[in-house]
Amino acid sequence: MIVNLHIERLIVDGVPLAAGGRSRLPSAVSAELTRLLATDGFPGAPPAGGAYEARRVHLLAPMDGSPTRLGGRIARAVHEGLRP
């Protein structure tokens, strides 16, 4: 199955990122989400037309500024949010 996922906007507010982290965050999200979809598959059947409404995710745990760890947490939240 080929999955094309487009995240139109990702807002990360109030999280201090390490130097250069802002530019590395999108690739960290993409890498972890690709891994999750490859290993765990698509969580449930996509909705008719394959489009999802906007999802809001709150990550309340403190972060250490690592774009890789934050990207992984965001990707896992997005993956969970794909459930119908």
Give pLDDT tens digits for 24-37: 988 999 999 999 98
Could you tell me where the DSSP H helices lie in 1-84?
21-40, 67-81
Tell me if 63 is assigned to some domain. yes
Structural domain includes residue 35: yes
pLDDT digit string, tens, across residues 37-46:
889 887 777 7
- Residue 21 falls within a domain, yes or no? yes
Structural domain harbouring 36: 17-41+56-84
Within-domain flag for 76: yes
Whether the CB-CB separation of 79 and 33 falls below 8 Å is answered with yes
Residue 72 domain flag: yes
Q: Evaluate whether residue 7 is within a structural domain.
A: no
State CA 42 to chain mean position distance: 14
Residue 47 lies in a domain: no
Domain count, the chain: 1
Region 8-27: mean pLDDT is: 82
Q: Please, are residues 67 and 28 in contact by the beta-carbon 8 Å criterion?
A: yes
Residue 74 included in any domain? yes
- Euclidean distance between CA atoms 62 and 25, whole angstroms: 17
Q: Tell me what pLDDT residue 40 has.
A: 85
